[in-house]
């Protein structure tokens, strides 16, 4: 396989007044005492911008996605979401920061609580943040925007296909209206039509709400078609 040409400019945050949706600076992160997976990685996603992050299996893309989504605490470096520093917290980031970012993973079966109906799965972040009243108002439209309706919302994960469950996971990631959506290999398990449908749903939502996107994956054709720009993971490492 020929090496793809490196992105000449992978670090051009737009010079606009709104703060970037995501700023990672000098992130070093890993697991236990093993070698860090990320070393001094920096990446910026502008306000409303869609960035695709490309890299081979096992290169650390998912770790970076988890750091961006405040699900993994880096050993060094800073994370800023919409201009607000998200480091310095001891164990978990404060709730109002966590709700500025939504995340969808590759395997919906691992991500979704099997006991919840799809409706409850989508609404749970609202309930957990004390916004129960919004469930009735927001849920039907949001579910419809990802292609879920009627009887499907009453089913549990084992009663729906991977594609349908992933639609619910996407709606759940959007239910708190995050400024940034992180999609880690969101469509890697899905067929071409379901992939195109989920991407269309994300783009429709982003057009309406101005949400920024960090899409992580290894499908170059897909990410180039989907995002404003793509970044090679290896260009993020310090030279």
Buried b (16+ CB within 10 A) or exposed e, 81-105: bbeeebeeeeeebeeebbbbbbbbb
Q: Does 221 bind another protein (CB under 8 A)?
A: yes
CA atoms within 13 A on the CB side of 166: 24
For the chain, give me the number of helices (H) and strands (E)?
Answer: 8, 9
Query: What are the respective helix, strand and coil percentages of the chain, to the nearest 5?
Result: 40, 20, 40
One of 33, 57, 141, 150 touching another protein (CB under 8 A): 57
- Minimal CA–CA distance to 122: which of 98, 136, 185, 193? 136
Q: Between residues 8 and 150, which has the closer beta carbon with respect to another protein? A: 150
Q: Between residues 63 and 164, which has the closer beta carbon with respect to another protein? A: 164
What angle is formed at CA 227 by the lines to CA 69 and CA 102, rounded to 5 degrees? 20
Segment contacting another protein by CB under 8 A, of 40-48, 55-63, 72-80, 119-127: 55-63
Q: Mask 106-145, x = binds another protein (CB under 8 A)? A: x---------------------------------------
Phi, psi of 188 (to 5 degrees): -60, -25
Q: How many residues at the interface with another protein, by CB under 8 A?
A: 31
Residues 181-200 that bind another protein (CB under 8 A): 185, 188-197, 199-200
Q: Between residues 81 and 190, which has the closer beta carbon with respect to another protein? A: 190
Smallest gap from Cβ 188 to another protein, in A, equals 6
Binding residues for another protein (CB under 8 A) = 1, 56-58, 106, 147, 161-164, 185, 188-197, 199-200, 218-222, 224-226
């Amino acid at each position: 396989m020929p090496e793809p040409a490196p992105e000449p400019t992978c670090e051009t945050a737009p010079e606009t007044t709104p703060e970037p949706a995501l700023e990672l600076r000098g992130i070093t992160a890993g697991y236990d005492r093993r070698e860090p997976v990320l070393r001094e990685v920096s990446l910026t996603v502008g306000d409303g911008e869609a960035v695709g992050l490309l890299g081979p299996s096992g290169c650390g893309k998912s770790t970076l996605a988890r750091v961006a989504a405040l699900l993994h605490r880096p050993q060094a470096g800073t994370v800023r979401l919409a201009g607000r520093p998200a480091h310095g917290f001891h164990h978990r980031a404060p709730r109002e920061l966590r709700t500025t970012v939504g995340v969808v993973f590759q395997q919906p079966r691992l991500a979704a609580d099997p006991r919840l109906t799809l409706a409850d799965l989508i609404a749970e972040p609202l309930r957990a943040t004390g916004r129960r009243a919004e469930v009735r108002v927001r849920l039907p439209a949001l579910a419809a925007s990802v292609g879920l309706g009627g009887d499907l919302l009453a089913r549990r994960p084992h009663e729906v296909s991977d594609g349908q469950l992933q639609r619910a996971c996407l709606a759940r990631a959007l239910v708190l209206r995050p400024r940034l959506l992180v999609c880690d290999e969101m469509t890697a398990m899905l067929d071409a039509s379901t992939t195109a449908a989920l991407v269309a749903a994300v783009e429709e939502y982003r057009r309406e709400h101005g949400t920024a996107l960090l899409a992580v994956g290894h499908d170059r054709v897909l990410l180039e078609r989907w995002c404003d720009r793509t970044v090679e993971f290896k260009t993020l490492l310090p030279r």
